[in-house]
Each structure stands twice: as C-alpha cells, then as structure tokens.
Structure 1
C-alpha cells in the first residue's frame, strides 16, 4: 500500500508539473507588458544530413492573452513534393495549464496553397485555427519536416511579431560533415542577451525573456529592427537542381546556366515577327518600347509554382504559344524577343513590394519574389516589369523602386540598385478654380497632374468603373461634404509617365455661416489633417522611405457682396525634413483670392530623438492646411 501511495503521489506530481509549466499566472509581468501573446517556448532544431536532405523540428508554445493575440494561435504547415510533414500535433491548455484539447494531424484542413493567381501550384497547406472560449489559453504545436530542398533555411526570428514577447528561444543546427556547415549571419542581436555555441557539427543560439515591442509610425521595417538570423549553404539542392554558390557572381552563373539555359529560344516565325515590329527603328530603347508594348498586348500574367517552376521560367516558345506566363516566364519571353532584335537585356531577380527590401550584397542566399528585366542604355539601366498590361515602359513605381536586386548576366550575377524616385520627382501639381456662393455651396474645376511614385498612386483610376471613380473622389476629398462629381476625364502620358485628372465638382454646405460672416478653408482640394501618433518614449528610428512634393494653385471667386475680414498670414517653414510654404493674394477689386502652397517631404532615416520635431512638422502642415478665411458681408 505504501508503494502504491508513493507511485500515485509521484504520478500526480509529474502531471501537476506538466500542467503548471503552462499556467498563465506563472508568466513574468515584464513579458505581458505591451503583449497580446507570450511565446513560452520557440524551438527549432535543424539537421542537415546531405546537400539534398534536411530535417527540422519545431516546438512552439504560445500563451494567448487576449482576442488580439488569437492570430498567433493559427497553426500552418506547408508541404510539397520535396517537403514532407513527418509529424504534427497541437495541444491546447487553459489558464491553469490543464489540457483541454488535442488536435492531431488528421484534424487539420488540407488545402492548396494557391495565391489566387496561380494556374499551376503544387504547394499545399495544413492549417488549423483554434476557437477559444476564454482567455488566457496556451497552444503548443510541434511538427517535423523532411525536405530535399536545402537552398532555403527556415527563417529564424527571436521575436516573431509586434506585441509578442518570448520566454525562451532556442535555435540549433546540426550538420553531418564540414562541407554541410551553413553560413550564419546575425542581425540586431545587440538588444538581447544571446548564448551562442559553435562546435564541430553544431551551431546553437539560446535567448530568454525578450520583451514585446510596439509598432511605431514611421519606424523601419520589422525585419530591420528585430533580432534574427539568416542562413545559407554554399552547396545546396533546389527542386532537384544542384548548386555551388560562394558569392553573387556565382549565383548569377548558376541561375544563367541551370535555370535559364535554353529557355529563350523562339520559333523562326516569331523572330521574324519581332524584327518586323521594329523595322526602320535604329535606337535600341525605342525597339525595347515597341517589344514591351507587344508583350503587354499579347500576353497575360498567370503564376506557375510547380516544382522548379517556382524559380525556373517557362520557356519563351511556350509563352509565345499559350500567351500567358508568370513574372519569370514573361521576363524571359521579352528577353528572348529583345535578343531577336539585337537589344541587350538581363533577367533580374528582385524582392518586390511597397516596402523596400534589398538583396544582401554580402550574403548570397536564395531570395527574391519577382523577376523583371534590366535593359542597359546610355550608361544607365531601364527596369521593365513584364507582368502588367498598364504599367508604362521603364516605370518601376513603388513595387520595385530603389532597392538592390540580382542582375543575371552571362558572365555572372551583379547586385545593382534599381531606379530611385527622389523627393521632388514624386510630384503632384493641383490647380483649381472654384466659386464660393452666399448659400455656402462651391463649384469649380480641378486638375491633378502626378509624376513618380505619385503617378503610381493615381493612374490606375482610369481602369475603374464610373461608380468606383466617384467613390474614389469622395474619399480623396472627404473634407468636402455633399460632394458631387459632375464630370471627369483622364490623360495618361506613358512616354513622359505623367497622369492628369480633370474633374468638375460641386458641393453644398462647404462653408460655415454665422449671421453676416462666412468661414471656410481655402485649401479644399489637397487638405492634410494627418498628424503622426504621439509616443511618450519613442523606441525606434524614424524612416521616411519615399519623399514627395505637392504644389497647389487655387483661385477662389468670393461671393458677391462679401469682403475679406480675416485671412491667414503667409507660412514658410524649412527644416531637415523638407519645407512647407503658403502664400495668399487678395484681389479685392475682383473678389478673388489666389492661394499657393508647396509641401516637400524628404526621404531619410532619422534618429528616434528627431521624432518629436518630425511630428511637429506635420502638426504645422495640418494647421496651415486647415486655417480659415473669414468673409464679412458688406451691408453698404
């Protein structure tokens, strides 16, 4: 009986210990501050067995504190022909650490990991979303992956997201032979305490008690501020293709010889057609424009993500036959057509998106999510995206501008920065004439001309329906109540890359009327009232990725019988962030006010101590834009 009692006591103690380690009340308060979830354990163990065999195991335990933290309880594990899920389990615990649910692999939904635009995609996804009944709760997931792809290592972030803290982080890589040892590059580890162990056949990083961070307006991108690791193997396997890459030059050689080889062949008939298209044209850039227009008019974008197709383009002859392709296939197709007419171009791999992300010039790991063309001409490059039927030739916009990309040349790869649109090049000119009436209504005409990245933000409106256009302007001019869009027309100069909008508008009750006075904001059509968030203790630097210049000219016809009683003084502000200037001329004889405004915001990276001054600059702009003019009725 005594032995049975001891066994029963020890068994109960063991279960209590397992449960107690997941009690939410045990979490240190410093980890719950500014946190929606706490990662109790974040563990990854990678075992590199060969250039074409890697196994990694993930164990992650997350305590979700509130409803906002629920998104961190979603378990998603991808797989494909080369990537197999060997095991998958999820356990859910309540706030006292008691197990309340066990989710097995068979309970997961198995879906195609389609992106909505892929014609072919063999990637699949197992996912499960737990629906909580109370908070806090803890979810523990573990899975093991076996893959023949060693070109990519799972990314390792010591902090996975904003408003998430980490109790224990453990990252381990084992490798079977010295040749299989991966290179590791560290980022932003200064802010945390990390134990690092490097021994023969083993690399380990351990960290504990990493506090959550808040998202802050105008901070650098998350990947640029959090502690993380990047890994690569110099000899690797990708979808059955072997590679040995020590630097970007060799990466370019491998892409050119392994992925692009024999992909740019066209039929004799298509070569003849291409040559006929540029017949009589001697300038290479003009030839490229003609070929680009042909590609836009005769192909469409559809993604292909099957096997090596995620990296290797469809052959040019196949694109020519079926008239569609993904970014790789269409870029390679245009490259082939340019070859046919004697124009040099280079296949280019880039990390595309509105957030500028550079290729790491010192770390030649497989990366990038998009392919474009680089066309050398007169000692510069023209960057051409072949996936859109509407983007002008050579316009990078905000999708591929101002970032380091891998240009693949026959002699090897080269890291080159794409075109930058700097400050005043991102220009918007708004010219308006409008009439104020005694009943508070306004009517007038507005012209908006945009260039650079501001062109990118405007020109797609010409593709929209009438209802969507009207809704757009009501949102764009949300400072004007009861806005009516009477007419509009657009002009898209794709050669100069200038977009012009002409809009005829009217609105009731724009002004405020008190007795014999009318109050109104003269800046009706480019009014800014945005002020960045205030932070008592700013943590991150201030980054303005893209600057701009707005220039406005408004002529306002005052209602008959009214005089200007009060008009704002001129404004002139110049500082390291840019400038803001306003002038107003009152022509009392003709009842007119001429308004001039110029706002330049410069791109740049500023220390966190500058945020207060930066925010104050926006406050002054908002104050100036919303200043009112007071009119007094002349009773004489």
Structure 2
C-alpha cells in the first residue's frame, strides 16, 4: 500500500511539472508499448480544399520513441517546390516525463535539395531537422502547413499505423471541401478489428482511430502495405501543374496525362534524330529497332534517383535529357520514348510500383499517386515488351524482380489501362547446377562447377560478370559458406542477353571438406547447392505468409571417391511433394563414383498462418536431406 501511494505521488509530481502531461511516456497504455519501438501519440491532418486551384494542408504529428530502433519514426521533414509553399514549420522535443527540452524553429531547420547529382530538379527541396536523442524514451512533436494550387496532390492515403512495431494512440484526417464537386472519393482498406470513427456531411469528411496496437512483423509475412489499416483518397475534380482535370477512371487519367503532362515533351534536336536514324538504317523490324535504341540509351545516359512525385509528375523534356545525358525514371523513359518515336517505333509511358515487393495498382481507384517508378511498354505483334530505361545492364524486355508480376498503369494517347507486367513463375526461375569433384584421402576436394540461371535467378546473378575479382570470390565464399577452406580457382561467365541466360564456369577446391573418423571419411554429398533457409519457428503465428516468387533448382553432381576406398553408407533416395513444392533426391552408384541428382521446386503463393508449420517442416526436411552424409572407408 505504501508503494502504491509513493507511485501515485510520483505521477502527480511529474504531471504538475510537465508542460504537456499528455506527452508523458510514463502514462502510455501497455497495449500500445507491446511489440512497439515507437508510439504515434497524435497524427492529425486537416485538408482544406478551398477551390479546384487552392489547397491548404495542416499537420501535427507527435511520436514517442521507446528505443533506438524507433528513431527513424521521429523525423521532422517536409518537401516543397515552386508550386508547394511551406510555413509554420516547428518541432518540439519532450523527455520521458513530458517536459519540453528543446524547441526547433523554422530558422533552425536545414534546407537542402531533394535530389543529388543534377540541376534539372533544383526547385525540389526538403526542410528537415536531424534531432539526435540523448535518452529514451523521448517525444517529438512536429507541425507544419502547406499551401498549393495543385489539388491533385491531395494526400492519396491515410494510414492508421506507420510501420511494423509502431502503434497509434490517436490518428485523424479531416478533409473540408468548399463545394460538392471537390468532394474526394475514399476507400476503406484493412479496417477489420480497428475501431474507426467516421463523420461525413455536405462539406467535410472525417476519419479517426484510437489505440491501434502495433503489428509485430513475422518472417515471410506480406508487406506492411498489404496489412496496414488505411483510407485511400482520390480527387475527382482537381488542378495539377496548370491543368484542370475530371477523372473517373484510368482511361480518363490516361487521356489527361497524354494531353497535358506528356504532350510536347518528346521533341528532340535535329542532330539526335539524324543520329538514331542512322543507327537503325537498314533495319525493318520494329522490335530490332527498339533493341538498338535501348542499347543506345544504356550506353549514353546515366540514371539519377528521383521519386516520381519529386519534380512533379511531368517528365523533364527529351531535349534537356539529350543535352545533359542524365535523368530520373520519368526523364529517361520519356527520352527513350522520344528516340523510339524518331525511328518509327511506338512506345507507351508506364507508371508502376517498383521494388522487390509486388504491389498492384488498384484497378477501381484511378489516381495520380499510385506508383513510384516509370518504365516503357512497347506494343509488338499483340503483346507488350517492357523496358526499364534506368538500367544500364538489364537485357531488352527483361524487367527482373524490380517491376515483375504486378498491375501497372499504361498511358496511351487514347486512354489509360491497367496491365500486368511480365511474371516469372516458379519453374521459369530456374537454376541448373552441374558439377564434378573428387574426394582425396586427406578429406580435401577439387572439382569443376557449371551453373546456368534463368528468370529471377538470372537477375540475381548476371551482374557477377561486372564485379572485380575480389568481389567475385567473395560472392562464392558467401554462396558456399558451408564449405570451409574454399578456394576459387579459375572462372568465366557467359551472359546471353537474348535468351536471358547466365552461365558460370569455375574450378574450386577445399581442404578438409570431409571429416575423419578413424580411417573413414564422412562428407555431405551435395557440396554445391544446399538449401539452408529454414523459416523462423513461431509458437503462435498470427500473420499469413507469402512466397512471392517461386523457383526450381536442378542439380547433377558426380563425386569421385579415393582409389582403394569403398562406400560404407549412403543416403537413401527421397521424394516429397505437397502444395508448397516438390523435392527429389536420388543417388546412383557408378564405377568408382557417386552421382547425385536433386530437384527442388518451391511454389509461389499466399498461405494462411495455420499452414506455416507445415511449410516450415517441408523446408526443414529439404535442409536435412541436403546435408545427408556419405561414409567411405578403405577396402580391406
């Protein structure tokens, strides 16, 4: 009882001296700190759509950081440019008790370019303050106001959680619209289990949520974007970069972008047009012309990283890119499109959400905000060929795992459409390993390996050909990290870009690969393609799991045993097949050698949490059999 009154007195004292007791981290509910590195105490946005050409956004965000891992969520920054004005920017920092310990005024914020490496985007800037914490927990409050004519930049979504391991105490967005035609459309996503307050009337919409617990990330779970509770928002009638728009669907948006943001951006200098026409002189086939132009762009331009939203949605003109020889994804794609047009090849500008996570455009929700990257689609004989103009190394028509298998927005002069990019499915992501090695009496091995890869497995390996000798050898020592004392001898690579096929040839040796037990030698037969990934075990798995890209490996390894030795023990052949894939392992005795044949297929798919243990058991068995040992001993 005495302890209770002492604690009560302590909290009363802390509350009395705090400037804002609501920011005391000591008062946080345990449900919000569980599985959390940070807590969003308050995230409030008010959007005023004053007219089709006037929007004001006011935001206040308060984050309590519980530990070092949460620092990345206590950020004070806002972007602006010539069409986006920022004012009333300020930050305050509070200690664990809720006492204000620092106030950061606008003059203390750093003001830097949003882009490195170029001057074409010089009006895109960021104001930020890099706060360095002294103790944990601490709280950062950040406020600002933005005004713009570009009402098309209405926030595209409002997430009630910021990331895995971040909870939310209070979050709200209110959109006020001066006239009914400015009312945006909204779409509710993943709100099951979240208590949402919604209020809508003739001139405003409000969404609010309180006490949303953090989601703990689990291995192989879907991306946070697919799980986060959110409201998607899009304007129907808006203004952007000098143009009014009324958008009801993707077709409307395609026409509007073609007529306004892309029109006139494809003009080229006469000298450049003449140059590229000479490059394709005598070539009749449009696809062959496109390959020549793509190679020209790869060899004569460089990419600078700029997000789609920075510098606006409109690409830099082809004339400017031709002059400086660099650009972001928008600029390089538009430039390549212009070069293709100059030689009579049609190509379409494409918005896509790029990254290893496959994220689709929402077919029923047409807006400017979806997508973070631009590529091109070239129509040819009833299908599209896709090229990423920011890559200086990828083969023509191969997009790799950066933009594969997702719905993207293809912008054509007569309208827009949602189209799926190429999918590299399961068996198409193929690796074939053929190897032979000889086991020596001292337990060492020496041999030759050939690895052929296709699909996404090609994408993972073809850049080996561009690496230094040290980096190549470092790669193989990491790839075969279960082989101690590995030495890489000679190696060479073949990169067939037409067939998207990469081949590795190398010689290797390793001392003490086999362990000795008396006069016996014990070793794992599969020296060159063990599957070592076993998913983490969970006592109470909560989230579904996803295999975004399946693959198939086939291996054929011939093992020579020392002269005068015989096989004492060898693993039995095994076959396992289920909904997640298939595993086959077989051994064959030859004259003085062993032949191992192996096949592993892992299928892509989304699976419920209740199946996780079965999938994990499948891969555990694969790992176990891949490590199966052979025992040889001298013949009597």
TM-score norm. by structure 1 comes to 0.93
Q: In the TM superposition, what is the alpha-carbon distance from 1:115 to its structure 2 partner?
A: 5.0
1:319 and 1:227 mapped to 2: Cα distance? 40
2:308 and 2:489 mapped to 1: Cα distance? 50
Partner of 1:282: 284
Partner of 1:579: 582
Residue segments in structure 1 that go unaligned for 5+ positions in a row: 1-11
Partner of 2:206: 204
Alpha-carbon spacing, 1:184–1:116, altered in 2? closer, same or farther (3 Å): farther
Partner of 2:415: 412
1:117 and 1:482 mapped to 2: Cα distance? 46
1:409 and 1:35 mapped to 2: Cα distance? 45
Tell me whether 1:538 sits opposite 2:541 in the alignment: yes
Tell me whether 1:241 sits opposite 2:233 in the alignment: no
Aligned equivalent of 1:425, options 414, 424, 428: 428
Partner of 2:57: 56
Q: Per-residue displacement from partner, 1:326-383 (whole Å, max 9, x unpaired)?
A: 3223322332333333333212222222111111111111122222221122221111
1:49 and 1:103 mapped to 2: Cα distance? 30
**Which secondary structure does the structure 2 equivalent of 1:364 belong to?**
coil
- Aligned residues of 2:23 and 2:139 also touching (Cα < 8 A): yes
**Which secondary structure does the structure 1 equivalent of 2:79 belong to?**
strand
**Which secondary structure does the structure 1 equivalent of 2:541 belong to?**
coil
Partner of 1:256: 258
User: Once structures 1 and 2 are overlaid, which stretch shifts more, 470-479 or 12-21?
Assistant: 12-21
- Aligned residues of 1:430 and 1:447 also touching (Cα < 8 A): yes
Aligned equivalent of 2:518, options 512, 515, 520: 515
Tell me whether 1:382 sits opposite 2:385 in the alignment: yes
1:217 and 1:100 mapped to 2: Cα distance? 39
Aligned equivalent of 1:529, options 521, 528, 532: 532
Q: Per-residue displacement from partner, 1:491-542 (whole Å, max 9, x unpaired)?
A: 0001111011111111112121121111111111111221111122222211
Partner of 1:291: 293
User: Once structures 1 and 2 are overlaid, which stretch shifts more, 71-80 or 405-414?
Assistant: 71-80
Alpha-carbon spacing, 1:220–1:238, altered in 2? closer, same or farther (3 Å): same
Alpha-carbon spacing, 1:596–1:100, altered in 2? closer, same or farther (3 Å): same
Partner of 1:473: 476
Q: Per-residue displacement from partner, 1:77-111 (whole Å, max 9, x unpaired)?
A: 22222222211222222222222222222222222
**Which secondary structure does the structure 1 equivalent of 2:163 belong to?**
coil
Tell me whether 1:443 sits opposite 2:446 in the alignment: yes
Q: In the TM superposition, what is the alpha-carbon distance from 1:312 to its structure 2 partner?
A: 2.2
**Which secondary structure does the structure 2 equivalent of 1:612 belong to?**
helix
1:467 and 1:13 mapped to 2: Cα distance? 59
Alpha-carbon spacing, 1:165–1:479, altered in 2? closer, same or farther (3 Å): same
Aligned equivalent of 1:563, options 563, 566, 579: 566
Q: Per-residue displacement from partner, 1:116-157 (whole Å, max 9, x unpaired)?
A: 577634322222233333332222222222222222233411
- Aligned residues of 2:14 and 2:97 also touching (Cα < 8 A): no
1:604 and 1:325 mapped to 2: Cα distance? 36
**Which secondary structure does the structure 2 equivalent of 1:102 belong to?**
strand
Tell me whether 1:90 sits opposite 2:98 in the alignment: no
Q: In the TM superposition, what is the alpha-carbon distance from 1:573 to its structure 2 partner?
A: 0.7
- Aligned residues of 1:73 and 1:129 also touching (Cα < 8 A): no
1:299 and 1:20 mapped to 2: Cα distance? 56
Alpha-carbon spacing, 1:308–1:390, altered in 2? closer, same or farther (3 Å): closer
Q: In the TM superposition, what is the alpha-carbon distance from 1:458 to its structure 2 partner?
A: 0.4
- Aligned residues of 1:529 and 1:623 also touching (Cα < 8 A): no
**Which secondary structure does the structure 2 equivalent of 1:529 belong to?**
coil
2:319 and 2:617 mapped to 1: Cα distance? 58
**Which secondary structure does the structure 1 equivalent of 2:154 belong to?**
coil
User: Once structures 1 and 2 are overlaid, which stretch shifts more, 16-25 or 488-497?
Assistant: 16-25
- Aligned residues of 1:171 and 1:206 also touching (Cα < 8 A): yes
User: Once structures 1 and 2 are overlaid, which stretch shifts more, 41-50 or 238-247?
Assistant: 238-247
Alpha-carbon spacing, 1:475–1:86, altered in 2? closer, same or farther (3 Å): same
Partner of 1:120: 121
1:63-462 maps to which residues of 2 (within 5 A)?
A: 63-114=64-115, 120-154=121-155, 155-302=157-304, 309-366=311-368, 367-462=370-465
Q: Per-residue displacement from partner, 1:194-219 (whole Å, max 9, x unpaired)?
A: 01001111111111111111111111
Alpha-carbon spacing, 1:411–1:100, altered in 2? closer, same or farther (3 Å): same
Matched pairs, number: 622
Partner of 2:6: none
- Aligned residues of 1:330 and 1:387 also touching (Cα < 8 A): yes
Q: In the TM superposition, what is the alpha-carbon distance from 1:321 to its structure 2 partner?
A: 4.2
Q: In the TM superposition, what is the alpha-carbon distance from 1:272 to its structure 2 partner?
A: 4.3
1:21 and 1:308 mapped to 2: Cα distance? 36
Q: Per-residue displacement from partner, 1:278-322 (whole Å, max 9, x unpaired)?
A: 344333222222222233233333457899854223333444444
Q: In the TM superposition, what is the alpha-carbon distance from 1:14 to its structure 2 partner?
A: 9.4
**Which secondary structure does the structure 1 equivalent of 2:225 belong to?**
helix
2:293 and 2:102 mapped to 1: Cα distance? 60
Partner of 2:504: 501
**Which secondary structure does the structure 2 equivalent of 1:21 belong to?**
helix
**Which secondary structure does the structure 1 equivalent of 2:288 belong to?**
helix
Partner of 2:3: none
RMSD: 2.2
TM-score norm. by structure 2 comes to 0.93
- Aligned residues of 2:18 and 2:97 also touching (Cα < 8 A): no
Alpha-carbon spacing, 1:335–1:131, altered in 2? closer, same or farther (3 Å): closer
Alpha-carbon spacing, 1:92–1:584, altered in 2? closer, same or farther (3 Å): same
- Aligned residues of 1:518 and 1:632 also touching (Cα < 8 A): yes
Q: In the TM superposition, what is the alpha-carbon distance from 1:586 to its structure 2 partner?
A: 1.8
Q: Per-residue displacement from partner, 1:173-200 (whole Å, max 9, x unpaired)?
A: 1111112111111111112010100111
2:131 and 2:37 mapped to 1: Cα distance? 16
Partner of 2:5: none
**Which secondary structure does the structure 2 equivalent of 1:166 belong to?**
strand
- Aligned residues of 1:152 and 1:232 also touching (Cα < 8 A): no
